[in-house]
Amino acid sequence: MIDFQSILGAIAAEAKSKKDKGVVATYIPELARVDKNKFGISLLDNKGNLYNAGDAAEQFSIQSIAKVLSLSMAFRILGDNLWNRVGVEPSGDPFNHLSLLEMEKGVPRNPLINAGAIVVADVLISQFKNPKSEFLHYVRSIANDPSINYDQKVALSEKKTGFRNYAAANLIKSYNNLHNDIEEVLDFYFHMCSLTLSCRQLVNVFYMFVNRGKCLQNHTYLDINQVKRINAIMLTSGFYDEAGEFAFEVGLPGKSGVGGGIVALLPNDFCVATWSPGLNKKGNSKLGMQALEKLTTRTGLSIF
C-alpha cells in the first residue's frame, strides 16, 4: 500500500521551503493580493480515502479549471453535436491567444482555451433560462456541497479587464458561432471562472472523471466514453502551451487555472489537486507542477 499521507506531507513541506515560488497573476487585484506562500494538496483515492497537506482547506479562485466542468455539462446535454461548435486539437498557444489560426471558421481549437470555453458558455446559455444558477447547482450537486459559490468581486474584475475575452467573443460571433448576446455569454463565462473552491473540494468535484462518470455519492453524470473524451482533452489541452511538458513531467490528464490551482487524475485510481498561487512563464502554477511531478515519480503512478 502506498502511504499517500506521508508522501503528500513531504511534498507540502518541500514546497513551503522553496524560495522561487513563481509570480502571482496580477491582471485583477483579487488575484494579485493572494499570499504566494500558500501551498495545499489533496488526494482522493478510488476507495474514497481523502489525504490532505498544507493549505488544502483554503479556498481560492479556480479560474480556468472551471472550463472542464462547463465542458462536461455541455457534453452531457449535446453529446457529440458539441464538436460541431468547438474542436479537440491542442492549440500550443497561450490561453488567451487570439490568432485566427486558432479558429477554423470561428470554431476554436479546443474547449479549454478561452475562445473554446466562451463557445461552451454560449451553448449552455442556449439551454437554460438561468445558466449561472444551473451551473452552480450542477457543481454543487456533483460535490454534494451547497457551500460552493461564485466570487462576485472576481467576476466583476474579470469583466472590467476582459478585453481579450471580448475580442475573442466578437471574433467568434462574426463567424456565427455565438448564438447569444456577447455581454450575456461573457457574464456567464466570468462567473464560471470566479468559482471558489479548496483543494479538498476540487478532488471531490473531479472524482467523477476518476470514477467512470460517477460522483462520490454514486450518481452518474457522464458515461464512460464521455469521461474518456474529457480526460483526453485535459491531457492534450489542459495546460495550454505547456501540455506537452505537463504530460512529460507528470503524466496525468489535468487542468490548471491562473489562480494557481491544478487538478489532475489517474482514471480508476485517484484525483489530486494542488494550490500554489505563483505561476511559471506559461501561466501554470510553478510549485503545483513540481509537486505533481514528485507525486507521480515517487508513487510510480501515472497513465504511462
Q: Side-chain half-sphere of 76: how many Cα atoms within 13 Å? A: 15
| Distance, C-alpha 37 to centroid of its chain | 21
Residue 258, annotated as binding a ligand = yes
Q: 114-127 vs 66-78: helix axis angle to the nearest 10?
A: 50
> Which sign does the torsion angle of CA 235, 238, 244, 247 carry?
negative
Contact pick of 54, 116, 251, 257 for ligand GLN (by CB under 6 A) = 257
| Nearest of 206, 209, 95 to residue 148 by alpha carbon | 206
**Nearer Cβ to ligand GLN, position 52 or 194?**
194
Identify the DSSP state of 220: B
Q: Please report, as a single letter, which amino acid is at residue 249.
A: E
Min CB(258)–ligand GLN separation in Å: 4
193 touching ligand GLN, by CB under 6 A: yes
Which residue, 38 or 294, is less far from ligand GLN as judged by CB? 38
Give the x/- contact pattern for ligand GLN in 197-236, rule: CB under 6 A.
Answer: ----------------------------------------
Asked if 253 contacts 234 with a C-beta cutoff of 8 angstroms, the reply is yes
Residue 110 in the binding site for ligand GLN (CB under 6 A): no
Our finding on whether 290 is near ligand GLN (CB under 6 A) is: no
Catalytic residue among 258, 263, 272, 276: 258
Task: Out of 70, 72, 165, 290, point to the residue binding ligand GLN (CB under 6 A).
Answer: 165
114 sits near ligand GLN (criterion: CB under 6 A):
yes
Is 203 labeled as catalytic in the residue annotation? no
Question: Of how many residues is the chain composed?
Answer: 304
Closest alpha carbon to 155 in 195, 190, 197: 190
CB-CB contact of 10 with 33 (8 Å): no
Residue 165 assigned to a binding site: yes
Active site residue 285: no
Which is the catalytic residue, given 42, 64, 70, 302? 64
Q: Grid coordinates in use for 107?
A: 470554431
Active-site amino acid positions: 64, 67, 189, 240, 258
Question: What does the binding site for ligand GLN look like in residue numbers (CB under 6 A)?
Answer: 63-64, 95-96, 114, 158, 165, 193, 257-258, 283
Residues within the annotated binding site for substrate? 64, 114, 158, 165, 189, 240, 258
